[in-house]
Structure 1
């Protein structure tokens, strides 16, 4: 078991920000960078640590309960952190993998996590107040963290990520699934951008790449975390790159990821980062970005989920 300070020394923070120069159509007309949150830690990488960083403070939780699927990056990162810090962890997993545990679940088992398999009907209740109250009665000392780590504290961790970016930029591009990552980025950009007289200067903009079918739904997930005030950073979600739905990875996307991994000194996977980089490549070819634009692509990690 590690102390919190010892655990934090194992993290690479700030995460690297590297120039990215692919031989893609239109890439020579802009400046591209990758924010390598995948390099924060070999196990607890990407936006998963960002979302959890303000849960694990000097006052550590006595126990933790959270939700996810059988390949969940969130549960994987959370289970590892709890194991390292000596915090009892219960993972409520959608579907019964007891006969054939996924690599993620096998890791949780090695980390002494308590695993509860539930059916889809029960899993759908994960946001219902009555069900959450039942869990609070069962786990009175536990912090209950929503699926994907999407909670108000997650925004603070994502703001930390944006604050690490010292270069000037025009766009941040990020994959979107549960909404908190993009919401945290927008929240941070609200501070970087500013009001001049009666105008709000949205100099820095955010683009989300929807990795699942959910036009309108994904926007709602982001908006629930954002204050409803008049002046707001410019952001939107592109819905043309989900490839049929969450975790859908047709052969062309898999080939793109494989070619990318062979060509560059960073790896991507088809669920999150692969769709984000595909989208950037396509938008560059279509001339979506003005010449000279400075674009930061956030690599949110998630490579373990592709095992």
Structure 2
């Protein structure tokens, strides 16, 4: 018998994904007065929203470097509007340079254009070594509670930390919400950067990204609405809907032997207007 045990990584008292806070807290430990929080993300980035909220709560200025300069001429979607409401200044970057943002000269030019002179840089998705080590606590909290721990993945930081904390006692199943098949290498690199070696037992199932990040096919939206109606649990659409759909399909395929304890890590709750604002099709 498959016994799903939904788990949310943090109480969410603000409109932000719970795992983003777990990743941000250790990253922000080194923030000093007078610096501006700067980070990166796409048009529907939950990490941008979390950083904007952190800046508001801490009284720190924030700048979001947003992928896609064509967005500058369009009305803000609900996610970016939430960032602006929380005080984040948005700077839109053409996609070719955004892909090269890790190159030092490109990064310096982007900061100059955004008017930032004293930046405190946070990686895209918040997924740096400090964030990964912070997420290891989630794995330690789950030891002995599940045989398989499943979560949706964007940049891989939460999964990288979770596997390290869980240790050999369980397996972590990641459901990427982005397409491209690059996450496995990113997770290995994060393990090396944070811990010096590979960590834990984990795997990825790349079949459930539904076309890419922030893609919400009508069939997936219907599944999420049905899940909400049956279980009374609000389903966030960027990550959680894809995770729950993946687990449903895998259970139907017989991927989990009888008696398997599966913990579904609910990495966030829907913010007002955010799920409804996603285009369906």
TM-score by length of 1: 0.79
Aligned mate of 2:49, from 64, 76, 80: 76
Matched, 1:279 2:252: no
Counterpart CA distance in 2 for 1:229 and 1:122 is: 30
Check 1:97–1:60 CA distance in 2 against 1; reply closer, same or farther (3 A cut). same
Question: Any unmatched runs of 5+ in structure 1?
Answer: 1-28, 194-202
Counterpart CA distance in 2 for 1:44 and 1:231 is: 30
Check 1:113–1:248 CA distance in 2 against 1; reply closer, same or farther (3 A cut). closer
User: Which secondary structure state, in structure 1, belongs to the residue aligned with residue 28 of structure 2?
Assistant: coil
Check 1:280–1:60 CA distance in 2 against 1; reply closer, same or farther (3 A cut). farther
1:246-269 Cα distance to aligned partner (Å, 9 max, x none): 222222111000111122232113
Matched, 1:37 2:9: yes
Matched, 1:211 2:182: no
Matched, 1:224 2:197: no
- Which one has a bigger Cα radius of gyration? 1
1:59-113 Cα distance to aligned partner (Å, 9 max, x none): 5563210111122111111001101111111111122234401122222222222
Matched, 1:254 2:221: yes
Counterpart CA distance in 2 for 1:120 and 1:231 is: 32
Instruction: Pick which of 89-98 and 30-39 moved more.
Output: 30-39
Counterpart CA distance in 2 for 1:208 and 1:163 is: 17
Tell me which residue corresponds to 2:121: 144
Counterpart CA distance in 1 for 2:199 and 2:134 is: 20
User: Which secondary structure state, in structure 2, belongs to the residue aligned with residue 143 of structure 1?
Assistant: strand
User: Which secondary structure state, in structure 2, belongs to the residue aligned with residue 303 of structure 1?
Assistant: coil
Tell me which residue corresponds to 1:64: 37
Whether the 8 Å contact between 2:67 and 2:92 is mirrored in structure 1 is yes
Whether the 8 Å contact between 1:37 and 1:45 is mirrored in structure 2 is no
User: Which secondary structure state, in structure 1, belongs to the residue aligned with residue 29 of structure 2?
Assistant: coil
1:213-252 Cα distance to aligned partner (Å, 9 max, x none): 222x111111111139887422110012122222222221
Aligned mate of 1:54, from 23, 26, 49: 26
Instruction: Pick which of 256-265 and 52-61 moved more.
Output: 52-61
Equivalenced residue count is 267
Counterpart CA distance in 1 for 2:148 and 2:55 is: 34
Counterpart CA distance in 1 for 2:236 and 2:145 is: 28
Whether the 8 Å contact between 2:237 and 2:270 is mirrored in structure 1 is no
Check 1:236–1:45 CA distance in 2 against 1; reply closer, same or farther (3 A cut). same
Q: Which aligned pairs between 1:7-26 and structure 2 lie closer than 5 A?
A: none
Whether the 8 Å contact between 1:272 and 1:302 is mirrored in structure 2 is no
Matched, 1:92 2:69: no
- Of Structure 1 and Structure 2, the greater helix share is in 2
Whether the 8 Å contact between 1:158 and 1:185 is mirrored in structure 2 is yes
Matched, 1:111 2:111: no
Counterpart CA distance in 1 for 2:74 and 2:25 is: 33
Counterpart CA distance in 2 for 1:107 and 1:286 is: 39
